């Protein structure tokens, strides 16, 4: 699986803010928004483009745009903090939604929302979720996308664990990964170590389901 780690001092500083337990919810959300900008910037780097004529105030020249407007899929809740920034960077994009909450005992994802186009063939899909821990939530999301014909899927994450990266790799699905970090591993609660805690709670407070 193609894996791209965004290695940049500004990305590292934003990730540090997100890791810091003293960062309050607005500070955490702001750092996530800014870091998403860098992750998307890198994730889109090799996207197919097409030329078209554009009229400047002086002359006609050739401009470029994305050849295939992508679908962005934030995984609720935590992925919601990435979608505003990603869709502003790619104004032609559309947004689908998947909602999933890990069971605290089994650590398995429990899906509660699925709002996706029926046919994703030929459409690049960017799944937005800051955390890839066991990989269960991401693999389940990708299953939903592949069942709709998606063949070009990018997982855009902030912090990952080696176990989650391996789960994506072993899934055999057509996915590549763009992330800010691969951490040491998981603790007994399947939280990423050192990680940043619960990315949903740190943006929005406790979950009610
Ligand atoms: O790789 P996994 O082991 O599946 O864990 C990662 C998932 O856990 C978090 O969501 P969570 O279930 O905490 O829901 P939330 O976003 O509503 O807090 C995170 O945003 C991922 O979706
Ligand atoms: O460390 C983790 C693992 C799963 N989900 C999170 O939000 N954080
Ligand atoms: Mg959570």
In this predicted structure, what is the pLDDT of residue 19? Answer: 98
Tell me the C-alpha distance between 39 and 6, whole Å: 7
**Interface ipTM:** 0.98
> Measuring from atom 9 of ligand 1, which residue has the nearest CA?
131
Cis status of the peptide bond prior to 166, with omega within 30 of 0? no
Residues taking part in catalysis: 102, 106, 198, 201
Distance separating alpha carbons of residues 75 and 79, to the nearest angstrom:
5
In a domain, 200, yes or no: yes
The full DSSP string for the chain is --EEE---HHHHHHHHHHH-TT--HHHHHHHHHHHHHHHHHHHTTT--EEEEEEE-SS-EEEEEEESSPPEEEEEETTTHHHHHHHHHHSTT-EE-EEEEEE-TTT--EEEEEEE--S--TT--EEEE-SEESSSHHHHHHHHHHHHTT---EEEE-SEE-HHHHHHHHHH--SEEEEESEE-SEE-TTS-EESS-S-TTHHHH-S---
**Whole-structure pTM value:** 0.97
pLDDT of residue 154: 98
If we measure between CA atoms, which residue out of 133, 151, 50, 34 comes closest to residue 89?
34
Check pocket membership of 82 for ligand 1, CB cut-off 6 A: no
Q: What pLDDT sits at residue 82?
A: 98
Residue 199 CA to ligand 3 center (angstroms) comes to 6
Which pLDDT score, from 0 to 100, does residue 143 have?
A: 98
- Angle at the Cα of 107 (from 73 to 169), degrees rounded to 5? 55
Q: Does some domain include residue 209? A: no
Give me the number of domains the chain comprises. Answer: 1
**In ligand 1, which atom is closest to the CA atom of 75?**
22
Written as tens digits, the pLDDT of the chain (209 aa) is 999 999 999 999 999 999 999 999 999 999 999 999 999 999 999 999 999 999 999 999 999 999 999 999 999 999 999 999 999 999 999 999 999 999 999 999 999 999 999 999 999 999 999 999 999 999 999 999 999 999 999 999 999 999 999 999 999 999 999 999 999 999 999 999 999 999 999 999 999 87
How many angstroms does the Cα of residue 4 sit away from the middle of ligand 3? 24
Within-domain flag for 58: no
**Domain containing 92: what range?**
2-49+65-204
CATH number for the domain spanning 100: value is 3.40.50.2020
Determine, yes or no, domain membership for 31.
yes
In a domain, 148, yes or no: yes
| Adjacent-strand bridge partners of 95 | 72
Establish whether residue 19 lines the binding site of ligand 1, counting it when its CB lies within 6 angstroms of any ligand atom: no
Give the per-residue pLDDT at 208: 85
In a domain, 57, yes or no: no
Closest CA to 47 of 28, 76, 70: 70
């Amino acid at each position: 699986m193609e894996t791209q780690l965004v290695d940049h001092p500004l990305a590292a500083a934003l990730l540090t803010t997100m890791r810091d337990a003293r960062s309050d919810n607005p500070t955490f959300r702001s750092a996530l928004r800014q870091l998403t900008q860098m992750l998307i910037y890198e994730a889109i780097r090799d996207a197919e483009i097409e030329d078209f004529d554009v009229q400047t105030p002086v002359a006609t020249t050739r401009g470029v745009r994305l050849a295939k407007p992508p679908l962005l899929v934030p995984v609720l809740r935590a992925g919601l903090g990435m979608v505003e920034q990603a869709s502003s960077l790619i104004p032609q994009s559309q947004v689908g939604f998947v909602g999933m909450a890990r069971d605290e005992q089994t650590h398995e994802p429990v899906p509660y929302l699925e709002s996706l186009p029926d046919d994703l063939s030929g459409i690049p899909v960017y799944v937005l979720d800051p955390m890839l821990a066991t990989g269960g939530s991401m693999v389940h999301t990708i299953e939903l996308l592949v069942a709709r014909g998606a063949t070009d899927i990018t997982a855009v994450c902030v912090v990952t664990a080696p176990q989650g990266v391996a789960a994506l790799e072993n899934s055999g699905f057509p996915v590549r990964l763009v992330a800010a970090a691969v951490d040491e591993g998981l603790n007994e609660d399947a939280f990423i170590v050192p990680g940043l805690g619960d990315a949903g709670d740190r943006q929005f407070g406790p979950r009610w389901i």
